[in-house]
Structure 1
């Protein structure tokens, strides 16, 4: 296969590289079809796919039960590179794999991949309007949420209250709440949409079709509707399994990320809802742990260690 001749990506062996590239060429795959395409036994494929799922490169299809899809390279590879401390190399890996992704935009899994690309480059905020729970969808993906928060952006989700009846959703709400990003619930959310930086939105209809709206002016009515729902929503606190104040280690990690983005102590304190004194104490404690003499040096070492 031509993919085998290309240098594998971020720490992937040739088998994983081949499977990931092949999966990028379609919205989703049933494992038997993928095994046929590759000419591999299903058992051999299962072992590689399990590895790719663990690395965050493959996820369940949001469109077809029992199918799998490749997570978009722009989302998956930087996260994997950070865990493996590869730093800027992730940009090279993204470019290498992005050419495998079909450019057509059709079906729910294509829409999911598009949202993943948007969130991987978010600058300030992602707003999600979620009328129903859909297993495997990006609204309930820790990987997507981590990509947003890692960039120091805000994640605001408004859910229909019925979603909390789903164990997977309740668990995700608790996880978000521990990271200062608790979703809010209202009786009903009239549409399913994701708005990124107030300038691009992906909307889904009940049949699973999706469309894109671009431009702040075109998004005006949707943005106002989202703000009204957010203001009316009730924060999900009952689902939290962690204390109201997130663990110090998690807060320190976020402080490091925001410092790396150039925010001042005052701005960081406002963003995460603590006092300026707490932020300064966190910075001092982190510098001591990293044996850094300056904030800049602390940031460099944090990147080298894969902490941010």
Structure 2
């Protein structure tokens, strides 16, 4: 972030530097300040005294003085024998800031002020996730996009998962079908046992983690260096509904993928064909299905050979002719279609 390397600010939230004191005081009085005002005082972001405005990322809003004081004192009281002086100074400092914050208090009514919180930086995201894990008692719902999970990705959150399992928390996770081929995921699920239930789909939305149906985390940028912590009941309930509907459509990890319904065409090729019919480019299809662009193009080439298409335009026509642009048939009545030679008058018998 701009300004982080310009100056050292070796202090805590209970004794701000002069520049930090002026910017934070102004933010509390006005309700927010431009992000540029904080470039010279990165301590305010590092100490979570300011955070991005969810409605306009170019502005920073102050954390409620009472919330900051509570957070600070939680750590101070853990070391009360060594921190008596800091407790007193923290209370005095934030009592003074609270006097400036009457307008902020009106905006921070219970249930509203922390409905949406922007977490800027991986360390802040990690801290918020650890806090939610600690408070979780019943259930975690997870949507994990992408393809085969790398070992380092799986071990990154393993300590949280093991902690949840130890407290009897049940977890349900949605992955793409491609994730089935990763040995790392299979090892992870074996380690977690009955604590985790996994299902897969052709494609899933962006990453989502829900704790006890009360707090959710979603990415706030494409690099995933920012996240949104959502606690508004309506938003969380909506995300739970989306998850449950996807869960009903998904297949258990132990179940086999269904046939495509057309002889010579795999389930993945059918999913690719449907996305091609919608007009998506190779890179978009690969990202949505969790595969590489190279693998995606190999499947498209195989589709073209199977359907006798000599060009992309002709492939689109063949896809529509054999019904690959429609949902696959399911159930015991479904039977593979018989493809005819593409140049014949009737392109397919279904």
Q: TM-score, normalised by structure 1?
A: 0.40
Q: Which of the pair has more CA radius of gyration?
A: 2
